[in-house]
Amino acid sequence: MKLVIIGGTGLIGSKLVTGLKEHGHEAVAASPDTGVNTLTGAGLAEALQGASVVVDVSNSPSFEDTAVMAFFTTSTQNLLKYAEAAGVARSRIVLLGFSQGACLTSEFAVRHASRFGAVIVFTGGLIGPPGTEWHHPGDFAGTPVFFGSGDPDAHVPVARVLESAEVFTRMGADVKTSIYPGRGHWVGDEEVEIARAMLDRLAPPA
């Protein structure tokens, strides 16, 4: 089965592509480096031909708040549209992010809750000041969701990670959370392995 990894040439995406290939998957990296632009849609239709699963690990080239949110909203909506046009059901589309990307991935997911293939949040959580409450409509309908984070983390308080996991659970997701005491702001091999195993369940390797 063909898995297309959007953002598959980046730091996290390249690790994921390597791990999937090592376990027998046909994993294809798609990014601006390979001629695929999720903002404009350029190259998306071609990249998604024959895909069984699509994993979105893309990240914004900007760190400015408004630009980042605009990137994720447009990019992810384009990806969903093109993937579904290519015959990839939303239940076989995986949203994955790290740090800033993880925060925006989780925020997009709760605003558009439905049955995704999986949502994987590496060191991130929902966006908002302390005391924010999230009451979005929608139902994840059993979507597998993983939250992983070090504790303490200099950028994302573990309390926000756990709070976000509770919101996803309340909205019908099947949530697993792993907290790694004393670990820095990075993605560990164990988390990459958890993500790969989640993808194995969607598309068993050959």
Residue 77 pLDDT: 94
pLDDT confidence tier of residue 67, bands split at 50, 70 and 90? confident
Tokens describing residue 206: 């050959």
If one counts every other C-beta atom within 10 angstroms of the C-beta of residue 34, the result is 12
Residue 206 pLDDT: 72
Tokens describing residue 178: 């792993």
Residue 92 pLDDT: 97
Q: Which burial class, exposed, middle or buried, applies to 112 when counting CB atoms under 10 A from its CB (0-12, 13-18, 19+)? A: middle
| Residue 57 near residue 29 (C-beta atoms within 8 A) | no
pLDDT confidence tier of residue 62, bands split at 50, 70 and 90? low
pLDDT confidence tier of residue 72, bands split at 50, 70 and 90? confident
Q: What average pLDDT does the structure give for the chain?
A: 94
**Nearest C-alpha neighbor of 95 from the set 82, 87, 110:** 110
pLDDT confidence tier of residue 166, bands split at 50, 70 and 90? very high
Q: What is d(CA 85, CA 67) in angstroms, rounded to the nearest whole number? A: 27
Its pTM stands at: 0.95
Average pLDDT over residues 90-115: 95
pLDDT confidence tier of residue 118, bands split at 50, 70 and 90? very high
- In eight-state DSSP terms, residue 130 is T
Q: What is d(CA 39, CA 69) in angstroms, rounded to the nearest whole number? A: 12
Tokens describing residue 154: 């200099």
- Map out the domains of the chain with their CATH numbers: 2-202 (3.40.50.1820)
pLDDT tens digits along 17-58: 999 999 899 999 999 999 999 999 999 999 999 999 999 999
Which residues of the chain form beta strands (DSSP E)? 2-6, 26-30, 51-56, 93-98, 118-122, 144-151, 174-181
Tokens describing residue 118: 């999986």
pLDDT confidence tier of residue 14, bands split at 50, 70 and 90? very high
Q: What is d(CA 105, CA 146) in angstroms, rounded to the nearest whole number? A: 12
pLDDT confidence tier of residue 170, bands split at 50, 70 and 90? very high
Q: What is d(CA 155, CA 108) in angstroms, rounded to the nearest whole number? A: 19
pLDDT tens digits along 120-142: 999 999 999 999 999 999 999 99
